[in-house]
Chain A
C-alpha cells in the first residue's frame, strides 16, 4: 500500500506562505507562494505573464515549458518554491521590444502556428536547442521537441521553422 496516501493532514495546515524572488526575463520579482504552487501557476497568476500555457498539468504536453537557468523544464511539475533565486525565461522574454527573435519570425514565415496553444512551449524548447546546437539537423530537432505535443499535428512546419531560424536554407512559405 502506498503509505503516504493516507498521510495525516497535520503538516498541511502548517504550510505557510513564503516570499521567494524570481528573475523572470531579466527582472527580479518577489512573489508569495505556498509549497503546493507550481511554477506555471506563479508565472501566469501571480506575475501575470500568460504567454506560458498550462494544458495537461501532468508533465506530458510541454505547453508550460520555460527555461530555468537555461534548461528547458516543465512549469507544471516544478514547484515554484524550488526556484527561489533562479533565473527564468518565458516566451515573453524572447522578443526585444517590438522586434521578434529569429525563431519567432521563422515560425510566422513557415506557418508553424495553428491554434497556437503549444507554440510558446515549442519556442522555448527550440530556443534552448539553438543555444546549445546552433546548426541542428532534423533528428536533433525532433529529439529536442519530443516533449512538446501539437494536437493540430503541425510538426513539419515547426521543424522547418527551427531549420530556417538556424539558417539552413529553408525558404519562408508564408511571406
Chain B
C-alpha cells in the first residue's frame, strides 16, 4: 500500500524515457522491477511525483560481441540471467551472483540495472520513521545521524548491498549510460561515488542501459560467495567476488581482482590484498594472508546489527575460501 498519489508514464523507448526524465527533473523516478523503489515509496523514504515505467521496453537477450565481450541489457531480469544458457556458460559468476539476490520472486521481478541502482541501507533509513524517529537524518536532508551520532553532516554511512556489483567489478565490466545527449560508457567502478548521500555517478536525466563484460583471459579463475545468516532472502554480511589470472606455469599470479560488497557505501576493491597476490606464487598461506590484509584495509561499516569486529572476521574467513575457489578454477 503506497500512501500518496503519483503520476505514471510508460514510454515506448529508452530515448523517450530519458527525454521525460530531463523534462521532469528530480520529481521523477524510473521504475523497472520495483523491488527496491516500491518498498522505499511505501516507507515514504522516497516520494516521487512521477514514476516512469521502463516495462514497455522488452530487454534484448545477452549477446556476445566479435571481441568475445558479453553485452547484457540492464532491463534483463535477474531470473533470466540465472537461467540464461549463454551467461551460465560464458560468465558463470554472473549467473551465481544473480541467484544469490533476494528471493525467487524478487529475482523474477528485479532487473540487473535496478540491482545496481538500489538505494543504500542502514538500520535507520529503511525503517518506517513515524513511530521511531521524527527528525530526518543527513541523507534525508536533516541534521543528525542515528546509527553514528558523532558523524558529520557531509557523510552518510549507509551501506550499498548489491550482490551483482562486486561480481561485475571483479570481471572488469563497463556500464553504458544513456542521456538525452547520447550515451557514455564508464568502467563500473567509476559508477559509484563512495558517498552514502549520493551513491551513483549518474545525472538526474540518465539511465543505465547496458552492462558490457569483457572476454575472460586464459588461465583465469573466479570465485564468488555471499556470506549470509540464513542463506536466502537477506542482504549479505559480505559479498566476495574474485578473479585471478595466472601465468602460463599455473602457479604465479599475473593479476588479481578482489571486489567486496555489503561492506561500505560502495563496492570496494581490496588493493593491498591484490598487491600481495600479484606476482607471487600462490598457496593456501598466501591466500590467507591476502584475506587477512583485505579485512584490515576495508574497515567494514557495521550494518544490520553486526559489529565491525564480526564483519572483519567474517570477511577474513569467506574471502580466503573464495580465493581458494578461484585458484582451484584457474588451475583446473
Residues 81-92 of chain A, each 1 if its beta carbon lies under 8 Å from chain B, else 0: 110000000000
Most chain A CB atoms below 10 A, which of B35, B50, B53, B79: B50
A-B residue pairs in contact (CB < 8 Å), sample of 26: A1-B141, A1-B197, A2-B140, A3-B204, A5-B141, A11-B27, A11-B50, A13-B5, A14-B7, A35-B6, A38-B38, A41-B1, A57-B42, A58-B42, A59-B39, A73-B105, A74-B35, A76-B1, A77-B38, A79-B8, A79-B31, A79-B34, A79-B51, A143-B104, A146-B103, A146-B104
Known: A59-B39, A65-B105, A147-B106. A1 touches B6 (CB 8 A): no
A145 part of interface (Cβ distance < 8 Å): yes
A7 to B4, CA, bound (A): 12
A23 part of interface (Cβ distance < 8 Å): no
Give the A-binding residues of B (Cβ under 8 A). 1-8, 26-29, 31, 34-35, 38-39, 42-43, 45-51, 53, 55, 79, 102-106, 108-109, 119, 138-141, 197-198, 204, 231-233
Quick check: A82 and B55 within 8 Å, CB to CB?
Answer: yes
Q: Give min CB distance, A63 to chain B, whole Å.
A: 11
A7, A10, A62: the one contacting B105 at CB < 8 Å is: A62
Give the B-binding residues of A (Cβ under 8 A). 1-15, 34-36, 38, 41, 54, 57-60, 62, 65, 71-74, 76-79, 81-82, 125, 142-149
Residues of chain A contacted by B47 (CB below 8 angstroms): 4-7
Quick check: B45 and A147 within 8 Å, CB to CB?
Answer: no
Quick check: A77 and B39 within 8 Å, CB to CB?
Answer: yes
Most chain A CB atoms below 10 A, which of B1, B46, B139, B231: B1
A41 to B31, CA, bound (A): 19
Residues of chain B contacted by A82 (CB below 8 angstroms): 31, 34, 53, 55
Residues of chain B contacted by A13 (CB below 8 angstroms): 5
Known: A1-B197, A59-B35. A35 touches B106 (CB 8 A): no
Residues of chain A contacted by B7 (CB below 8 angstroms): 11-12, 14-15, 35
A33 to B33, CA, bound (A): 19
Q: Give min CB distance, A118 to chain B, whole Å.
A: 13
Residues of chain A contacted by B8 (CB below 8 angstroms): 15, 35, 79, 81
Quick check: B109 and A38 within 8 Å, CB to CB?
Answer: no
Q: Give min CB distance, A39 to chain B, whole Å.
A: 11
Q: Give min CB distance, B150 to chain A, whole Å.
A: 20
Quick check: B105 and A72 within 8 Å, CB to CB?
Answer: yes
B3, B5, B34, B108: the one contacting A35 at CB < 8 Å is: B5
Quick check: B108 and A71 within 8 Å, CB to CB?
Answer: yes
Q: Give min CB distance, A120 to chain B, whole Å.
A: 13
| Pairs A-B, 8 closest by C-beta atoms | A147-B103, A146-B232, A11-B49, A35-B8, A3-B26, A7-B27, A77-B38, A11-B7
Q: Which residue of A lies closest to B42 (CB)?
A: A58
A48 to B98, CA, bound (A): 36
A15, A72, A143: the one contacting B5 at CB < 8 Å is: A15
Q: Which residue of B lies closest to A6 (CB)?
A: B141
Residues of chain A contacted by B35 (CB below 8 angstroms): 59, 74, 77
Residues of chain B contacted by A41 (CB below 8 angstroms): 1
Residues of chain B contacted by A76 (CB below 8 angstroms): 1
Residues of chain A contacted by B4 (CB below 8 angstroms): 9, 12, 36
Quick check: A147 and B233 within 8 Å, CB to CB?
Answer: yes
A36 to B46, CA, bound (A): 13
Quick check: A147 and B104 within 8 Å, CB to CB?
Answer: yes
Q: Which residue of A lies closest to B34 (CB)?
A: A77
**Given pairs A58-B39, A77-B109, 10 additional interface contacts (CB within 8 A):** A4-B26, A4-B27, A10-B49, A11-B7, A36-B2, A41-B1, A59-B38, A72-B108, A74-B105, A146-B103
Quick check: A74 and B106 within 8 Å, CB to CB?
Answer: yes
Residues of chain A contacted by B28 (CB below 8 angstroms): 4
Most chain A CB atoms below 10 A, which of B119, B197, B232: B232
A57, A77, A146: the one contacting B233 at CB < 8 Å is: A146
Quick check: B103 and A62 within 8 Å, CB to CB?
Answer: yes
Residues of chain B contacted by A60 (CB below 8 angstroms): 233
Residues of chain B contacted by A7 (CB below 8 angstroms): 26-27, 47-49
Q: Which residue of B lies closest to A144 (CB)?
A: B104
Known: A2-B46, A59-B106. A8 touches B27 (CB 8 A): yes
Residues of chain A contacted by B79 (CB below 8 angstroms): 71
A5, A8, A14, A34: the one contacting B45 at CB < 8 Å is: A5
